[in-house]
Every structure is written in C-alpha cells, then in structure tokens.
C-alpha cells in the first residue's frame, strides 16, 4: 500500500482552508495533516507534522508568503504549491515565490470560490501529486563563464541568422530553468518562441521579469507579432501560439482551440508549426515540466531537420516533458540545464544562413 501524500494547507481564509481540505481529502492518495491561518502557526506545524507538500497563500497577516517561504527553504525545505488569487500584483509575487523555492503556482477562483474550487478539484489534486514527486532544488542560479565566452565568439555568426527560429517548451520548474538559459544567449539571438505553461496574467508578468534580465526583448506574444532576431515571444496564458510565415517573414498567431494534453497553450501546437515553416532552420528545446506536451511537436521538428535538446533528469524539477521527448527519439542531445545555452549557441552558429 502506497504511503499517502501528507499536506499542510496555509491560508488566512478559513473558507479556503475548509474547501481545500475537502477537495484534497477526497483523494485516497492524499492526507491533509493540518492547516494554518498564518506563517507563525505554519512554522510550528511544519516542524511537528513534517508534511510532504505545503500549499501556501501569498497575502497573509503577520508575514507574507514569500518571506515565509524564503525562511522555510533556508531551514527545512518543503515542496510548496503556491495557491494565489489571480491578479497582476499577485502574479509578480508568485514569480518571486518560485524564485524563493516554490515548485508551482495555481490561481484561486476569482468569484464563487466554493463552485470554483469544486471545478478545479481534479487539477488541484493532480498538482499536489506532481509537487510531491518533484525534485526539490533550492538554488540553481550560477553564472556560467563558459557560456558567456561562447556568446562573444559567436557574435559575428549570429548576425546572419535572420531565418532561424528557436522554439522552447517548458512547464513546472520552467520559470526558473528559463532564467538559466535565456540570459546567456546573445542579444541578437534568432527569433525565439516559447510555451511556458502558466495561468493568464502570470505570463505577462513573467515576460516582463525576463525582459529585465535578458540582453534582448522578451514580451508576452500578441496576435500578429513578428518573430525577429533579438526578440523572444512567450505564449500568453490560455492561448495557443503558432508560427506562421509570409515570404521571408515569421510571425505568430494566437487562438483558443481546445486544450491538448490538458493545457493551453500547448507546446505541440507551436512545435508542429515550427516544423512546418522553419524546418531545418530551427532549434528545439524542451525543459522541465509535467506531462508529455511538446514531444510530438519536437519529433515533427526533428523529422523536418531541426536540432533538438532536452534537459536531463538530474537538473529537472519534473522530468516529464523531456523524458517523453527522449522516449520517442525526438531529441539529439540530453544536457544538464547549465549546458543548454552553450549548445544552442553552437548549433545556431553551425546553422547560420550565409
């Protein structure tokens, strides 16, 4: 008999605590071992109950969730799922919580919390189970001198890459993983398109965060945006994104066709369009994430002549999406996170269009 996943719920709303307890306790694989209305109660319960997973609100009395999580990750790390209201302010806070060590983020229902949580029950339990299995990585941030040097060496070649495309897929753990890849790519990188599974509003905030730390433009994609060197486009939450081409020019289109693999945006939509329009002028990358989204699309890209990279298991928070791509032979190399940017640069240089 499998051991149940022990969960501690931390939220200042008694309604949320009660409803989450009901939802999670209905799953035979999950046991809610305690609840806490603020970080001070939570601190004591973390010590005595030793949960496998903590669900954590951000805005709470006495101490905010981000400050609390930072303290927890320094003393006795626990796998954490942020459960926050959906707003621009809270989406920025959620990004900071992931930087502090949270595994993933879920948005609270904006209205009719009781009905909303009931509708989200399956997703909530799935997220908790995924977080319980995730690798607990407390600090990934390292400056890679080797990557920086290769950026300088490749500058001339990258000036010729106007027809190349970089396509990246990521999910759980991807918000931090992308920070270990994108900032180490040159300012004139080929047009880059990314699907990172995130709720609406969060993607815009995240793109703005990346834009501040990268040497090129990073923005949440809008329908019709051009895909050009020196620009990274991130698919907005709840919208699929596909690459299109008119003559020598690439752009993106957004749409709300049904979810695939239970997600929207889906990387498979993007990757298959990149295979169709960019072919051998593309580099595909799949980073940490739950599920199998992106695998079929990467295989289509590989069959069209692209070069594909998957993040390795050891450096992944969740080795789901990369494993799915590796299992169907859709990638050329499996690399640790800190080596991916350097390999992208080498491949772009080798494939530069004269």
Active site residues: 171, 197, 293
Exposure of 62 by Cβ count < 10 A (0-12 exposed, 13-18 middle, 19+ buried)? exposed
Measured CA to CA, the distance from residue 141 to residue 143 in angstroms comes to 7
**C-alpha 352: how far from its chain's center?**
28
How many residues make up the chain in this entry? 354
Exposure of 319 by Cβ count < 10 A (0-12 exposed, 13-18 middle, 19+ buried)? buried
Contact assessment for residue 12 and residue 55, using Cβ atoms and an 8 Å cutoff:
no
Six token digits for residue 264 = 């929207």
**Residue 42 — left, alpha, or beta (φ > 0 → left; ψ -120 to 50 → alpha)?**
alpha
Exposure of 162 by Cβ count < 10 A (0-12 exposed, 13-18 middle, 19+ buried)? middle
The backbone torsions φ and ψ at residue 334, rounded to the nearest 5 degrees and listed phi first, read -110, 120
| DSSP, res 280 | G
Six token digits for residue 231 = 């620009």
**C-alpha 280: how far from its chain's center?**
26
Strand order in the sheet with 5-10: 30-36, 5-10, 53-56, 79-85, 104-108
Of residues 313, 304, 320, the one with CA closest to residue 337 = 313
In whole angstroms, how far apart are CA 47 and each of 8, 129, 133, 135? 11, 21, 21, 21
Measured CA to CA, the distance from residue 184 to residue 218 in angstroms comes to 14
Instruction: Spell out the alpha helix ranges (H) of 34-120.
Output: 39-49, 65-75, 88-100, 113-119
């Amino acid at each position: 008999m499998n051991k149940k996943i022990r969960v501690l719920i931390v939220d200042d709303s008694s309604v949320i605590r009660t409803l989450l307890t009901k939802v999670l306790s209905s799953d035979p694989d999950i046991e809610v071992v305690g609840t806490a209305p603020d970080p001070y109660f939570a601190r004591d319960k973390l010590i005595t109950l030793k949960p496998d997973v903590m669900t954590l609100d951000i805005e709470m009395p006495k101490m905010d969730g981000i400050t609390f999580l930072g303290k927890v990750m320094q003393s006795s790390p626990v796998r954490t799922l942020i459960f926050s209201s959906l707003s621009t302010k809270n989406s920025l806070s959620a990004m900071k919580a992931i930087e502090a060590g949270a595994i993933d983020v879920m948005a609270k229902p904006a209205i009719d919390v009781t009905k909303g949580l009931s509708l989200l029950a399956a997703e909530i339990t799935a997220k908790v189970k995924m977080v319980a299995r995730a690798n607990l990585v407390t600090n990934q941030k390292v400056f890679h001198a080797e990557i920086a040097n290769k950026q300088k060496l490749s500058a001339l070649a990258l000036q010729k890459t106007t027809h190349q495309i970089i396509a990246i897929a990521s999910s759980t753990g991807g918000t931090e993983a992308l920070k270990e890849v994108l900032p180490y790519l040159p300012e004139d990188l080929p047009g880059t398109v990314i699907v990172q599974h995130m709720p609406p509003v969060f993607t815009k905030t995240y793109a703005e965060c990346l834009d501040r730390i990268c040497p090129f433009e990073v923005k949440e994609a809008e329908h019709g945006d051009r895909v050009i060197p020196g620009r990274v486009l991130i698919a907005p939450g709840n919208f699929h994104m596909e690459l299109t081409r008119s003559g020598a020019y690439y752009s993106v289109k957004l749409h709300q066709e049904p979810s695939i693999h239970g997600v929207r945006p889906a990387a498979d939509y993007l990757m298959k369009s990149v295979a169709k329009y960019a072919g051998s002028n593309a580099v595909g990358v799949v980073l940490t994430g739950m599920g199998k989204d992106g695998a079929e699309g990467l295989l289509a890209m590989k069959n069209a002549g692209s070069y594909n990279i998957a993040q390795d298991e050891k450096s992944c928070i969740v080795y789901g999406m990369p494993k799915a791509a590796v299992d169907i032979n859709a990638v050329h190399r499996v690399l640790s996170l800190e080596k991916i940017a350097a390999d992208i640069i080498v491949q772009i240089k080798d494939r530069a269009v004269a």
